[in-house]
Amino acid sequence: MPPGFAPDDFWLLLPEILLATTAVVVLGADALLPRGRQGLAAWIALGGLGATAAALVPLAGTHATAAGGLMAVDAFAGFFKLLFLLAAALTILMSTRYLAVEGARPGTYYVLVLCATLGMLFMASALDLVTQVIGLETMAVSFYILAGFLKPNRRSNEAAVKYFLLGAFSLGLLLYGMSLLYGLTGTTMLRDIGTALAGLERSRWLGLAVILVVAGLGFKIAAVPFHMWAPDVYEGAPTPITAFLSVGSKAASFAMLLRLFFEALPAANADWGLLFYALAILTMTVGNLAALTQSNLKRLLAYSSIAHAGYVLIGVVAATSVPQVGIKAALVYLLVYAFMQIGAFGVVTMLRRHDVIGEELKDMSGLFTRNPLAGASMLLFMLSLGGIPPTAGFMGKFWLFSAAIDGGYYWLAVIGVLNSAVSLYYYLRVVVFMWFKPQATGSPVVLGPAMGVLLAVTVVGTLALGVYPRALFDLADVSARALGAAGIATMVR
Amino acid sequence: MPRRKSGPPSLGSLGALSAVGIAFVLALLFGFLIGRALDGWLGTSPLFLIVFFFIGLAAGVLNVIRTASAVTRDDRK
């Protein structure tokens, strides 16, 4: 048994162990399965994700640390892990037909999706700077390869190069900030850093560390002004990967951000609260304004995804004065966003056919008559992203804005509402194309069984959480409470 | 899009890529120094330091993106 590894840890880390095992099995299956049967790899991957989710169930209500205090097994991590597993499963469902149409051999594709998910699980649990970075890189390296997976496609290549270079630089900034934190406190454990900083004078080094860490994580959540890579990478990457990137990677980075700032840096919350305040306003406004002029669907959804990171940041800012309410609102919104964003990308994936690339706004033309089910689903996702009741998007935004008001950030709430109004223009533009424009040419848009399941899950999620949000609120409440109770206590003045 | 055999990238693009790192750090450093100078002059520490740090960062990122676009385009000609 490795040092620092207690027998109980096996049960606490069983989800991660299962997922890593599945990745290895899928890798072997790809090599051993005969040509033509390689589609089976997707089903093995889905089974592994299901088993991992099942292994999370007995851990509900646990509040423990594993691997010598490096990993937390609590409701906060559990909430995010379920979100990642759901996003990964939906991504795989979206990918099967897409890869066939693109003519790409699945090969290591599903292995990399699983590895990225594994990294996310670590990011949600890690209680130590080094473990956090290892999780982050496990995820990011998988995504660099996945973004460039369509090798003959120049845009996919370009996306991979850009994502890799900027990912490397942002990691440099983040690590520099983390090394300063280590230098100031002499420890890499988040909770020990929190205790050490509580007794420390405010210094300019701490300020620099906070700025660098915010910049490094700002890249990962694609907050303005660190968002420039997002539209290019989202446009060039294979569409299912774009969906996974915009939901999974973003949620994982928020999980890491919340852990880091609320467990290790509650003492400096006046500094980073102000930084996030500025970032939230910039991110919402720039994201929404830039989305107005896009004619490419993937770029439009990329800018919309930037704007949504800004909305979630409202929750983070609100949490500096009302921690419980703010974190809860951010968690609720991240889950709601997963359903509507993956659903919207699912419909975009359906538009990709042998004869049509299907990424332009005009490819949406007449979708209501060509495939009413896909059209109606897309309408729901657009309304939800825009924040119209009775969808989940409305409930999510309502909670975020009321959290801002609870925390006394009235202007943030006002700017958030104004931004939602602006965003309606481009979401409804998609609807106008679907409903009022004459049908686009090309082969029919078909709904396969995998896409049927995906649309069913996302539509039900988007509607159910909007009509009956109680269960989600209770879940998010328990999860937010689990996040560094000690750290939060020192913040409430 | 015509398929082409993938080969090693040309020497020129490797050179351009290796310069990106230095340019990124220089952009950051310039932003940092300008911000510090302005703060010292106007006594507004650390407002301009933060603002110009982010502006330098944005400039560095833009440069990386431009180089990456140029390199991938050249390689595919």
Average pLDDT score, chain B: 77
Q: What is the pLDDT of residues A430-457, one digit of tens each?
A: 999 998 888 877 788 888 889 999 999 9
**Contact call for A154 and B54, based on CB within 8 A:** no
What is the per-residue pLDDT for A464?
93
CB contact under 8 A, B64 and A166: yes
A interface mutation test: which of B57, B62, B66 has the most A CBs within 10 A?
A: B57
Q: How far is A315 from A329, CA to CA, in rounded Å?
A: 6
Q: Measuring CA to CA, which residue among A129, A268, A262 is closest to residue A198?
A: A268
Q: What is the pLDDT of residue B3?
A: 44
Let me know: does A1 contact A58? Beta carbons within 8 Å: no
Residue A492 pLDDT exceeds 50:
no
Residue A2 lies in a domain: no
* Angstrom distance (rounded) from CA B77 to CA B47: 46
Over residues A355-363, mean pLDDT: 86
* Number of separate helices (H) and strands (E) present in chain A: 22, 2
Q: Contact at 8 Å (CB) between A91 and A10? A: no
pLDDT at A489 over 70: no
Q: How many residues does chain A have?
A: 493
Domain count for chain A, please give it.
1
Of A154-163, A265-274, A282-291, where does mean pLDDT reach its minimum?
A265-274
Find out whether A457 and A312 touch, Cβ atoms under 8 Å.
no
**How far apart (Å, rounded) are the C-alpha atoms in residues B43 and A19?**
54
Structure tokens at A176: 């520099």
Classify A436 as helix, strand or coil: helix
Tell whether A275 lies on the interface with B, counting CB pairs under 8 A: yes
Q: How far apart are CA A299 and CA A291, in angstroms?
A: 8
DSSP secondary structure letter of residue A34: P
Give residue A307's pLDDT. Answer: 96
Tokens of A329: 């609102």
Check B69 against A162: CB less than 8 A apart: yes
The C-alpha atoms of residue A208 and residue A273 are separated, in whole angstroms, by 14
Peptide bond between residue B46 and the one before it cis (omega within 30 degrees of 0): yes
Mention every residue, 6+ apart, whose C-beta is less than 8 A from residue A315.
A326, A327, A328, A329, A330, A331, A333, A400, A403
- Token code pair at residue A44: 């093995």
Per-residue pLDDT at B4 exceeds 50: no
Q: What is the pLDDT of residue A363?
A: 87
| Residues A190-240: tens digit of each pLDDT | 989 988 888 877 788 888 899 999 999 999 999 988 898 999 999 999 999
Look up the ipTM and state it. Answer: 0.78
Backbone angles phi, psi at A72, to 5 degrees: -100, 135
Number of other CB atoms surrounding residue B58 within 10 Å: 17
Q: Are A360 and A293 a contacting pair, CB within 8 Å?
A: no
**Contact (CB<8Å) B1/A204:** no
Q: What is the pLDDT at residue B5?
A: 46
Q: Tell me whether residue A389 is in a domain.
A: yes
Task: Give ∠ CA A331-A255-A63 in degrees, rounded to 5.
Answer: 85
CB atoms A228 and B61 under 8 Å: yes
Alpha-carbon distance A352 to nearest alpha carbon in chain B (angstroms): 16
pLDDT grade for B74, boundaries at 50, 70 and 90: low
Orientation angle between helical segments A323-351 and A75-102, nearest 10 degrees: 10
Written as one letter, the residue type at B5 is: K
**Phi, psi angle pair for B5, to nearest 5°:** -65, 135
Whole-number pLDDT of residue B40: 84
Q: What is the mean pLDDT of chain A?
A: 90
- The residue of chain A with its CA nearest to that of B62 is A228
For residues A354 and A253, the model is more confident at A253
A139: nearest Cα among A292, A289, A255, A311: A255
* The two structure tokens encoding residue A296: 């490419």
- H/E element holding B29? helix B11-42
Q: How confident is the model at residue A490 (pLDDT cuts 50, 70, 90)?
A: very low
Whether the Cβ atoms of residue A146 and residue A237 lie closer than 8 Å to each other:
yes
Residue among B6, B60, B69 minimizing CB distance to A158 = B69
Two structure tokens written together for A478: 């328990």
CA–CA gap between residue A211 and residue A207 (Å, rounded): 6
A443-448: long-range contacts (C-beta < 8 A, 24 or more apart)?
A443/A353, A443/A354, A443/A355, A443/A356, A444/A370, A444/A371, A445/A350, A445/A351, A445/A353, A445/A367, A445/A370, A445/A371, A445/A374, A446/A350, A446/A371, A447/A350, A447/A371, A447/A373, A447/A374, A448/A97
pLDDT per residue as tens digits for the range A5-39: 777 888 899 999 999 999 999 999 888 888 777 77
- Asked whether the beta carbons of residue A166 and residue B61 sit closer than 8 angstroms, the reply is yes
Q: What is the reported pLDDT for A493? A: 36
How far off is chain B from A32, nearest CA to CA, in Å?
A: 26
> Could you list the residue range(s) of the whole structural domain that residue A407 is in?
7-491
Q: How far apart are CA A175 and CA A260, in angstroms?
A: 13
Q: Would you state the pLDDT for residue A436? A: 87
| Residues A115, A144: Cα–Cα separation, whole Å | 12
Is A225–B73 a contact, with Cβ atoms under 8 angstroms apart?
no
| Whether the predicted pLDDT of B9 surpasses 80 | no
Residues on chain B touching A204 (C-beta within 8 angstroms)? 46
Residue B25 near residue B75, CB atoms below 8 Å: no
CB nearest A165 (choices: B20, B46, B62)? B20
Q: Does residue A276 belong to the interface with chain B, where contact is any CB pair within 8 Å?
A: no
Residues of chain B in Cβ contact (below 8 Å) with chain A: 1, 3-4, 6, 17, 20-21, 24, 46, 50, 53-55, 57-58, 60-62, 64-65, 68-69, 71-73, 75-76
Residue B1: pLDDT band (50, 70, 90) is: very low
Q: B67: how many CB neighbours lie within 10 A of its CB?
A: 20
Q: Average of pLDDT values for A294-309? A: 94
Q: Where are the domains of chain B?
A: 24-75
Q: What is the pLDDT of residues A369-408, one digit of tens each?
A: 889 999 999 999 999 999 998 899 999 999 999 999 999 9
Residue in A152, A215, A275 nearest the CB of B3: A152
- What is the rounded distance in angstroms from the CA atom of residue A273 to the CA atom of residue A32? 52
Interface with B, mutate which of A144, A149, A157, A163 (most B CBs under 10 A)? A157
Candidates B4, B46, B57; nearest CB to A225? B57
Q: Compute and round to an integer the Cα radius of gyration of chain A.
A: 21
- Interface contact A151-B6, CB threshold 8 A: yes
A304 backbone dihedrals φ, ψ, rounded to 5°:
-65, -35
- Give the pLDDT band of residue A424 (cuts 50, 70, 90): very high
**A22: Cβ contacts below 8 Å, ≥ 6 apart:** A44, A45, A47, A48, A49, A51, A52, A114
Question: B4: which chain A residues are within 8 Å (Cβ-Cβ)?
Answer: 152
Write out the two tokens for B8: 């090693």
Across A71-76, average pLDDT? 91
User: For residue A207, which residues of chain B lie inside 8 Å, CB to CB?
Assistant: 46
Tens of pLDDT along A153-187?
888 988 998 899 899 999 999 999 999 999 999 99
More confident call, B53 vs A411: A411
Nearest to A431 by CA among A314, A299, A297, A325: A297
pLDDT tier, A487 (very low <50, low <70, confident <90, very high otherwise): very low
Whether residue A225 has a cis bond before it, omega within 30° of 0? yes
